[in-house]
Chains A and B, each alone.
Chain A
Amino acid sequence: MEGTLKNNTSKQLLWIGMIGITMFFAGLTSAVIVRSADRGWESIIMPQWFWYSTFAIVLSSITLMIAKRQVKKGISPTFYIVSSLILGLLFSCFQIMGWGQLVSDGIFLTGEKSHPAGSFLYVITLAHLIHVLGGLISLLVTTIKSAQVKYTKKNYLGIELTSIYWHFLDVLWLYLFVFLLYSLK
């Protein structure tokens, strides 16, 4: 398959895959809407750590944007890709610490003291984190390839695809965060 066509098909495959992922989360969040309209819905204060993780993932998107600009100019983007990777790892750590805070606040995934609002919060954030794991693997591969100088001004499809997916995860988290903030209020 020739270059431009390969670029187009790869990007489209990714975009359509992301539409599928969006529908998955649309299913979960619409379940929250349906359930929260019923009686017995409890409110939860969002852990402080989730605010930090939001900051980390937004920052990681910015560094990845810079990385893409660098490679377009022919400058090595490795530093910025590594920065995104570290920020992504930080995001994951903050999420896990957020769960820890939830447990200290008496909000559990399961068990007699659990309730659907808390369980939804755990499951939705966990599902997002699993998708982030895919993004981290992709960032790691991109970092290695970038360190091996495999990307050039004209050939940086790997960085483009990783960027699209990572920005998607960022936007998805922003949506989920705002949604959960209001629906669990």
Chain B
Amino acid sequence: MSDHHKETFITKYIFSIDHKMIAKQFLITGMLMGIVGMLMSILFRLQLSSPGEPFAILEWFGVDWNPTLDANGNVIGTPIMEGVLDPNLYLSLVTMHGTILVFWVLTAGLSGTFANFLIPLQIGARDMASGFINMLSYWFFFAATVVLLVSLFVQTGPASSGWTIYPPLSAVAESIPGSGLGQDLWLISMTLFVVSSLLGGLNYIVTILNLRTKGMSMSRLPLTIWAIFITAILGVLSFPVLLSACLLLVFDRTFGTSFYLSDIIIGGEALHHTGGSPILFEHLFWFLGHPEVYIILLPALGIVSEVMSVNSRKPIFGYKAMVLALIAIAFLSFIVWGHHMFITGMDPFLGSVFTFTTLLIAIPSAVKVFNYLATLWKASIRFTPAMLFTIGFVSTFLTGGLTGLILGDSALDINVHDTYFVVGHFHIVMGLSAIYGMFAGVYHWFPKMYGRMMNKKLGYLHFWVTFICAYGVFFPMHFLGLAGLPRRYYTNSNFPMFDELTDINQLITTFAIVGGLIQFIFVFNFFYSIFKGTKATKNPWESNTLEWTTPIERMHGNWPGEIPTVHRWPYDYSKPGAEKDFIPQTEPLKEGEEEH
């Protein structure tokens, strides 16, 4: 029996407990936040390409958003920026860009969308183990979003101590305007976000363990589900540690404790804090922070495996090795956090231990890249937009991963620490790879989400301009970093040694603007196709997984009758002796046929 029942507008679109609707809620919220985060990056890129110069687009903002205040809280200087980006606003934009992209887009937007959408559909379940907890997960996320957006409009501006909110900057309200109410709202928002992530993660794990349809053994799970499963475990183990770090920070900020603070002097006056250590925060933060990189990456790795196999018309190369590599990456992610802290005065021996564990990650990562290339080798590739983004993922995962070897080695890292080399590295390996995975997922599963197809030509345009511009933005940053240009600086024009890098910065900003604008093509394609796209067939990509056996029309419960039984793994593409080049998981094995 299906679980389909009569739904009102409220229960269908707003307080829905249907996993597919919740997935769309996560996706659309993530997309809108993505636009906000991307526009922020364009604003601060304008400053970096032409420091201190006025821009008409900045005049549009009118008032000084994050003004410098005197001791009585009055605004110092003119409140009108006249088109020049205020230094405090610059710091806020960088902070909020990082926060939004890391957490809102690439964590909730990616995992929230595809975990919710794919788990029940690909394992053969009516819904998540708890639809109610699932709904709560979205609404906690929504509340977190509202609080974060509200923080943009408070007088002292949003948080501006970086997405890593290192104390003492983030712990002392008097240090910079953004460490006032904006930082409080950031912490409230992040707490709501962590609750949302944990509620989601609990549900994903329990659903995958308990609600698989008959025949869907763990060894027959699509790699998307394996990746989401391991991501959820990572989240449950690491997000609470961030919460503990934030709790201590809240006590330092609000109640005057000294967990992270010691001997702070502001305006010539010594604060009472003694005995705290800001390095303690870094340990706690990065214990989450590094697994967070893989919370972002693993779902993309799963999506890429699935989309690549379907569009290569070949089984994914080394299924078991892919699963083992996911597990190895997840395990190692917990013992490498020190590589973010090589220059904190860490014992060199400890540094070498973290170097060793960090470089070990190259092994399972290389296994994955090798298997992707082996899957593509001699394949009958269908170059759909999803497949192009998948290939783009392999490219960025590889190029970004290679610079990771440099940053993982303490002896090399200290030379480029806190420079644009780091910015280039993590944007390519984590940011671009994950966003390409997300785009691949959206293009691939859009027909299942909305029953219509996205426009292919716009998809190709979107891919190629994004791909070229993204490399145009982040590849030159490595050279800026090698030249010693520090990240996070409001202006580099005060340092003559960096004068000759101005052209590169202008080039980067140009690519950023073009690459940013092209995303609106994607947004247009997405929303236009929901209503006007060509109607999709039941299985447009000729794929094997269970979601393509559900009816085109959305229904709560997913299958009108019995849930289908699974007889084989999901990667029987171009199997010798088969009539078609794909055999759905629901098709029983023929007499004498080996599973794979």
Chains A and B come from one and the same complex: yes
* Chain A proximity of B551: nearest CB distance (Å): 23
Residue pair A31, B206 in contact (C-beta under 8 Å): no
CB contacts (< 8 Å) of A112 on chain B: these are 272
- Closest Cβ of chain B to A129, distance in Å, is 13
Let me know if B240 is at the binding interface, CB within 8 A.
yes
Residue of B203, B244, B283 touching A34 (CB-CB under 8 A): B283
Q: B65 on the interface (CB 8 Å rule)? A: no
Whether B236 lies near A16 (C-beta < 8 A) is yes
Return A55 CB to nearest CB of chain B, in Å.
27
Whether B280 contacts A123 by the Cβ 8 Å rule is: no
How far in angstroms is the closest Cβ of chain B from A122?
8
Whether B244 contacts A12 by the Cβ 8 Å rule is: no
Chain B: interface residue total (CB-CB under 8 A): 39
Partner of B210, one of A8, A25, A123: A8
Which chain A residues in 109-127 approach chain B with CB under 8 Å? 109-112, 114-116, 119-120, 123, 127
Bound complex: CA A28 to CA B240 (Å): 10
CA distance in complex: A152, B538 (Å) = 47
Residue of A nearest to B256 (CB): A110
Interchain CA distance A9-B129 in the complex, whole Å: 7
B285 to chain A, nearest CB (A): 10
Is the CB of A181 closer than 8 A to any CB of chain B? no
A178 CB–B CB distance under 8 Å: no
Closest to A23 in B: B240
Which residue of chain A has the shortest Cβ distance to B255 in the bound complex? A110
Is A24 a contact partner of B243 (Cβ separation < 8 A)? yes
B206 adjacent to A109 (CB under 8 Å): no
Q: A1-46: which have CB < 8 Å to B?
A: 1, 5, 8-9, 12-13, 16-17, 19-21, 23-28, 30-31, 34-35, 38, 40
A21 touching B251, Cβ below 8 Å: no
Contact indicator A12/B240 (Cβ below 8 Å):
no
CB pair B259 A119 closer than 8 Å: yes
Q: How far is the CB of B324 from chain A (nearest CB, A)?
A: 22
- The answer to whether A127 and B247 have CB atoms under 8 Å apart is yes
| Any A CB within 8 A of the CB of B2 | no
Chain A nearest CB, measured from B194 CB (Å): 10
Contact B236 A28 (CB under 8 A): no
B255 touches A24 (CB 8 A): no
Question: Roughly how many angstroms separate A9 CA and B59 CA in the complex, as a whole number?
Answer: 55
A19 close to B237 (CB less than 8 A): yes
Give A63 Cβ to nearest chain B Cβ, in Å. 29
Closest CB in chain A relative to B130 CB, distance in Å: 7
B52-69 interface (Cβ within 8 A of A): none
Given that A9-B130, A12-B206, A12-B210 are known contacts, is A115 also in contact with B274, CB under 8 Å in the complex?
yes
Contact with B277, one of A16, A35, A114, A115 (Cβ below 8 angstroms):
A35
Give Cα A21–Cα B237 distance, bound, in whole angstroms: 9
Closest chain A residue, CB of each to CB of B258 = A116
Task: Collect the chain B residues with CB atoms within 8 Å of residue A9's CB.
Answer: 129-130, 206, 210-211
| CB-contacts of A94-116 with B (<8 A) | 109-112, 114-116
A116 cross-chain contacts in B, Cβ below 8 A: 257-259, 275-276
Partner of B280, one of A1, A23, A26, A34: A34
Contact with B along A58-78 (1 / 0, CB 8 A): 000000000000000000000
Q: Is the CB of B257 within 8 A of A12?
A: no
Check B240 against A21 for contact (C-beta < 8 Å): yes
| Cα of A5 to Cα of B238 in the assembled complex, Å | 28
Q: How far is B252's CA from A123's CA once the two chains are assembled, in angstroms?
A: 11
Q: Determine the chain A residues whose CB is within 8 A of the CB of B94 once the complex forms.
A: none
B287 within 8 A of A: yes
Chain B min CB distance to A111 (Å) = 6
Contacts of B255 in A (CB 8 A): 109-110
Q: Is the CB of B205 closer than 8 A to any CB of chain A?
A: yes
In the complex, the answer to whether B239 meets A20 with C-beta atoms within 8 Å is yes
Measured in the bound complex, the distance between the Cα atoms of B210 and A8 in whole Å is: 8
Q: How far is the CA of A137 from the CA of B189 in the complex (A)?
A: 26
Would you call B276 and A27 a contact (CB within 8 A)?
Answer: no
CA distance A116 to B279 in the complex (A): 14
| Interface contact A31-B248, CB-CB below 8 Å | yes
- Does any Cβ of A come within 8 Å of B328's Cβ? no
> Are B205 and A16 in contact, CB atoms less than 8 angstroms apart?
yes
- 3 nearest A-B pairs in the assembled complex, by CB-CB distance: A27-B244, A24-B240, A27-B241
14 contacts between A and B (CB under 8 A): A1-B129, A5-B210, A13-B133, A20-B240, A25-B244, A28-B247, A30-B284, A31-B248, A34-B280, A109-B255, A114-B256, A119-B258, A120-B259, A123-B248
B interface with A by C-beta (< 8 Å) = 129-130, 133, 198, 201-203, 205-206, 209-211, 236-241, 243-245, 247-248, 251, 255-259, 272, 274-277, 279-280, 283-284, 287
Instruction: Name 20 extra pairs, CB < 8 A, besides A110-B256, A110-B257, A114-B257.
Output: A9-B211, A13-B206, A16-B205, A19-B236, A20-B240, A23-B240, A25-B244, A27-B241, A27-B245, A27-B284, A31-B245, A34-B277, A34-B279, A109-B255, A114-B256, A115-B275, A119-B251, A119-B257, A119-B258, A119-B259
